[in-house]
Amino acid sequence: MISALTLGGVAVRRGGRLLFEGMNLSLGRGEAAALVGRNGAGKTSLLRAVAGLVGLEAGEIAFGEADPAQARAEGLHFLSHQDALKSARLAGEELEFWAGWFGGSAAALAAAVDRLELGRLLDLEVRRLSAGQRRRLTLARLLAAPRPLWLLDEPMSPLDADWRAAFGAIMAEHLAGGGLIVAAVHDPLPIPALKVEIAA
Amino acid sequence: MSLARLLRREASLAWGRGGGPLVALGFYAGAATLLPLAIGPEAGRLAAVAPGAAWVTLALASLLCLDRLFERDFEDGALDLLLLSPAPLELVCAVKCLGQWLATAAPLAVAAPVAAVALGAESRLAPLILVSALIGGLAFVFLGGIGAALSLGARRGGLLTAVIVLPLYVPPVIFGGGAIAAFASGLPWLPGFALLAAYAASAVALGPLAMAAACRNALS
């Protein structure tokens, strides 16, 4: 599966404006990168480009030996600030659907629910959840369907101090298991990470 | 299989809150009731236009739920995640349309013969109207999906969808309405019906390609 992530001379244009160019990055198994930059610098666009949702103006993105299309279809999780949760559906239904969509098993789902303490929330409608609870529900996808590359867009922002620490531990375990993480952040990540500055 | 899961989710989303099929059925009943008020209560005149009126109203009612087909998934990021799976986007679009058909077009198809007979059509027409509405509904949903995907991200997307889609609804309205009218007057109705089915089949085959391309364009 995905053993590395390499960006060579990547440039992304959005709405006629060149966000950044000449972006280079090389990550191996067990490594994390923290994307920092001002609002609107293009952190989210870079994550979307890695996920294949946005085309590149120049440069290339490689996933080690893996075929890019297959790597994107089976090897990465993309967690954006849009959490893809339907407010009228039950939290449990939504989690179960997405875990299954990404190819997760029932056992992994149960473990994720335990780890993120979602048990009591599953039979609530998504609209009843707080921002932090919604975020934990989306984080559960990462554990319920194991995939090597995590693309995280400000994963910490709605979490309280305890859950920030807990998610730090989850990320550290993912890296220890040979995973890769690219996270767009404003505050420093609680794990050792390569700092990548995005500026126009 | 995750596509079966997606079909269940789509059908329940279309069926669920906001009243999906009930609103469409309500619109359908309302529009069908307006007709005799405009044309006048003369039974003979109403009976003559009843099947055609039921058929056109069906096309309009099936427009109603289209804006929900991609718009919500586009806004809440679900469309991004649907792309990050081994299932091709074309298949995802087809499954979404199928879910929409099950949840709204099928109930509307059941209402179509009821409306036609209530307006005074002969009851022997009801089975043909039902089957035509089921098949025509497929064409309406899969063509409507193209319009819904093309108008993603546009302000007042629902109205834009209707304007894009209505011209595409012309052939099924002609073929379906023609087949029912021919059957009513004892003429050969099979050619019109076969053309309707062929048009629906090509909509099912080609619609998802156009929808997927439009979705990719909206996301990038």
pLDDT at B36: 82
In a domain, A192, yes or no: yes
pLDDT digits (tens, 9 = 90+) for A35-62: 998 888 889 999 999 999 998 999 999 9
In a domain, A81, yes or no: no
In a domain, A181, yes or no: yes
In a domain, A112, yes or no: yes
Q: Are residues A68 and A102 in the same domain?
A: no
* Structural domain of A188: 1-75+149-200
- Find residue A17's DSSP bridge partners: A14
pLDDT of B44 higher than 90:
no
DSSP notation for B39-69: H-S-HHHHHHHHHHHHHHHHHHHHHTTTHHH
Q: Are residues A2 and A18 in the same domain?
A: yes
Ranges of chain A whose pLDDT falls below 50 = none
Count of residues for chain B? 220
pLDDT at A120: 93
pLDDT, mean of residues B14-26: 74
In a domain, A82, yes or no: no
Angstroms from A73 CA to nearest CA on chain B: 4
CB–CB contact B220 A54 (8 Å): yes
**What is the band of B62 on the pLDDT scale with cuts at 50, 70, 90?**
confident
**Reported ipTM:** 0.91
Listed in sequence order, the DSSP H helices in A66-130 are: 68-74, 91-101, 106-115
CB–CB contact B2 A85 (8 Å): no
CB–CB contact B6 A89 (8 Å): no
Q: Are residues A36 and A47 in the same domain?
A: yes
**What is the band of B18 on the pLDDT scale with cuts at 50, 70, 90?**
low
Instruction: Pick the most confident of A68-77, B37-46, B53-62.
Output: A68-77
Q: Are residues A167 and A133 in the same domain?
A: no
Q: How far apart are CA B166 and CA B170, in angstroms?
A: 7
pLDDT at A148: 94
Share of chain B above pLDDT 90, in %: 49
Q: Are residues A156 and A69 in the same domain?
A: yes
Q: Indicate the number of domains in chain A.
A: 2
Q: Of A117-121, B123-127, B152-156, B191-195, which gets the smallest average pLDDT?
A: B152-156
Residue B208 in contact with residue B94, Cβ under 8 Å?
Answer: yes
Burial-class residue B13 by CB neighbours within 10 Å (0-12, 13-18, 19+). buried
Closest Cβ–Cβ partner in A54, A78, A93 for B84: A78
Q: Of A71-85, B40-54, B173-187, which gets the smallest average pLDDT?
A: B40-54
Burial-class residue B124 by CB neighbours within 10 Å (0-12, 13-18, 19+). exposed
- Residue numbers in A near B220 (CB within 8 A): 53-55
Q: Are residues A56 and A153 in the same domain?
A: yes
pLDDT of B20 higher than 90:
no
In a domain, A80, yes or no: no
- Residue numbers in A near B13 (CB within 8 A): 86, 89
Domain boundaries, chain B: 2-219
